[in-house]
Amino acid sequence: MIRNVHIFLIFFLLFALSTRIWVSSWNDASRMATIQSLVEESTFIIDESIFIGTGDKYYYKGHFYSDKPPLLSLVSSPIYFVLFHVGITFSKHPRLAYYLITLLTIGVLSSCGLTIFRKILIQHFDVSTEWADLTTFLTGTGTLLWVFSSVFNNHIASAFLILMGYNYILRFKENQKFSYAFYSAIFLSLAGSIDFTCFLFLPFGFLPFIRKSWKAGLLYGLAGSIILSVYLFLNIHTSGSILPPPLNESLWIYEGSSFSINDLSGLAEHKNFNKLGEYIFHMIIGNRGLFTLSPILVFSVIGLLIRRDFSGKLRLRPELNIFLIACILYICLYLFRSVNYGGYAFGIRWYVSIMFIICIPIGFLDNWIRNGSKIKRILFGIVAIFSILISMLGYYAPFTPGIGFDTSSGELILHEGIIRPGLILTTSSTLWRFKFILLIVILFFLLSILFRRIKYIKVG
C-alpha cells in the first residue's frame, strides 16, 4: 500500500531530478537577491547582490529592493545561512547554492502539498486510495505545479499554504477544535503575505468558522490580523508604504526601470474591449491558457458536473464551494488587472497558487472512469499523457528571458519558433538530454503502474 511518506519521497526525488541549477528569470533572481543580502549583509537592500541585474526591483531612499514580498525570502534565508557557513556561497558555488535553496524550500513544500492533497481526497472526500494516488500523481506531474516546482517562486509556497488553510477548515467541520481556526488563518494569511493576491482567500476562509461559532471566527480574525500586521510592517520597512511595491508607481521611477504604470500588474489597463477579450481567451484556452497547458483540468470540470443533482445544483461540500468561488474570483482578478501573461513564464504562473484546490474535483471521477465505458478510460489516459508531456516542455523552459513571447497572441517563442520537443533533443547538452529522457521513462513507468491498479480494481 502506498502511504503518505511514499508520496512525499516519490515527488521529492522527482523534484530533486528536475530542480534547476541556476536562476531562470528576473523573478527568481529577485528573490535570491534578497536571500543573499539578508544572510551576507543583514539587510533587505540588494545593491551588493550578484543578482542586482534583475529587472524585478524598485528604488527607495537611494537603494534597490526586490519587488517581491520579502517573507518567502526571509523564511528561506536560514537554508542559505547554513550553506554560507559551510562554504557553499553564491560567490563560490552559485549553482549548487541555488539548487539546494530551491529544492529544500520549493521542492519540499510542493512534495508536502501533494501529500496533504492525497490525504484530503481520501479522508474528506471518500476517494479510493487507488484513485487518490492517480489523481495526486497527475496533479503533481500533469499541471503547472511540476513546472514551477523546479524554480524558486512564490506560487508553489502560496499553493501549499492555501491547501493547508483549507485542510484545517475541513478538519474543523469534523472536529470543532478552536485551534483549527487559528491554524487556518495563519496559513491563509501567510499565503497572502507571500503572494498578496492570495489575501483574497482570507475572508472566504472566515465564513465556515463564523457560521459554526463566533468564538472560532474571532480567533480566526485575531490570527489573520497578526500575520497581516507583519506583512504591512515589512512593506513599510522596505518601501515606506503599506501598498505592495507593484502597486506603488513612485517606486518604479528611476533610470533604467523595466516597468511603468503601463505594464505593472494591478496598475496597467487594457486599451480596449477587443484587447481584453483576446487576453482573456489566451489566459483560459488560448496559447497560454489554463486548460491548454494543463489539459487534465478538463476532467476537473467534468468532476464538478457529475456532482450535480436532478435540479442542477452542485452536490459539493460547502467549504469546497466557497474555495472554488474564491478561485474563480482569483482568476478574474488576473484576467482584468494584468496585461502580460505572467511575463516570460511557461503558461500563466499565477494559476499555480490555486492548482491544488481546482484539481480536487478530479478525485470525484473514481466511479465515472473505472466503471464507465472503455472510451472514457482511453480518453482520460490520452489527456493524462498529453498533460505530462506538456509539463515536460514547461520543465525544459519554465522561463525564457531575452527570448520573449508575442504579446498580441500570447504565443511563447523560443529560437524563432514555438517550443517543440525536437528542440529539446537537438539543442540541449548530452546531460540534459539524458536527464530529460530519464524523467520521461520514470514518469510513464509510474503512470502505467497507477493505471493498472485502476484497471483491475473496480468499485461498486
- pLDDT of 405 > 50? The answer is no
Average pLDDT over residues 359-385: 90
User: Is the pLDDT reported for residue 55 higher than 60?
Assistant: yes
β-pair type (405-406, 411-412):
antiparallel
Mean pLDDT check: name the lowest of 106-110, 265-269, 379-383, 446-450. 265-269
8 A C-beta contact, residue 319 and residue 170: yes
Classify residue 372 by its DSSP letter: S
Q: Which candidate, 11, 53, 36, places its Cα nearest to that of 88?
A: 36
The whole-angstrom separation of Cα 113 and Cα 8 is: 9
Domain regions of the chain by residue span: 4-260+269-456
Of the listed ranges 8-22, 138-152, 261-275, the least confidently predicted one is 261-275
Cell of 211: 457560521
The pLDDT of residue 271 is 77
Give kind and range of the element (H or E) at residue 60: strand 57-60
User: Whole-angstrom Cα distance, residue 76 to residue 69?
Assistant: 13
Residues 6+ apart with CB under 8 A from 306: 364, 365, 368
Nearest 5°: the CA angle 187, 305, 394 is 55
Is the pLDDT at 325 greater than 80? The verdict is yes
Our measurement of the distance from residue 313's CA atom to the centroid of its chain's CA atoms, rounded to an integer in Å, reads 30
In the predicted model, is pLDDT for residue 383 greater than 90? yes
Name every residue whose Cβ is closer than 8 Å to that of residue 255 and which is 6 or more positions away in sequence.
none
pLDDT greater than 80 at residue 282: yes
Residue with cell 468499485: 459
Rounded to 5 degrees, what are φ and ψ at 58? -125, 170
> Using one digit for the tens of pLDDT, what is the confidence trace for 386-404?
999 999 888 887 876 433 3
Over the Cα atoms of the chain, what is R_g?
A: 22
- Integer angstrom CA distances of residue 407 from 125, 246, 260: 41, 20, 17
Task: Name which of 162-176, 310-324, 355-369 the model is least confident about.
Answer: 310-324
Stretch 251-272: mean pLDDT: 77
Res. 455 pLDDT band, cuts 50 70 90: low
226-255 tens-digit pLDDT: 999 999 999 999 999 999 998 888 898 888
Report how far residue 179's alpha carbon sits from residue 394's, in angstroms, rounded to the nearest whole number.
39
Q: Which residue bears the cell 500533469?
A: 142
Does residue 413 surpass a pLDDT of 50?
A: no
Q: Could you tell me the pLDDT band of residue 280, with boundaries at 50, 70 and 90?
A: very high
Per-residue pLDDT, 203 = 96
CB 149 within 8 A of CB 24: no
Long-range contacts, stretch 35-38, CB < 8 angstroms, 24+ apart = 35/73, 35/76, 35/77, 35/80, 35/101, 36/80, 36/90, 38/73, 38/74, 38/77
Q: Which residue has the higher pLDDT, 340 or 208?
A: 208
98-107, 108-117, 447-456, range with the lowest pLDDT: 447-456
**Cα–Cα separations (whole angstroms), residue 247 to 16, 18, 250, 267, 425:** 35, 34, 9, 6, 41
Rounded mean pLDDT, 27-46: 95
- CA dihedral for 80, 86, 89, 94, sign (positive or negative): negative
Query: Among residues 176, 237, 166, which one has the least CA distance to residue 198?
Result: 166
* DSSP class per residue in 237-289: HHHSSSS-GGG-GGGG-STT-S--TTTSTTT---SSHHHHHHHHHHHHTSTT-
Of all residues in the chain, the percent with pLDDT exceeding 70 is 88
Which comes out higher in pLDDT, residue 421 or 24? 24
Grade residue 191 by pLDDT with cuts at 50, 70 and 90: very high
- The model's pLDDT over 414-443, given as tens digits with 9 standing for 90+, comes to 333 344 454 555 555 677 677 778 888 888
Average pLDDT of the segment spanning 292-304: 94
Among 134, 139, 70, 77, smallest CA distance to 111 is for 139
Total length of the chain? 460
All residues at 6 or more sequence positions from 220 whose CB lies less than 8 Å from its CB, including other chains: 181, 182, 184, 185, 205, 206, 209, 210
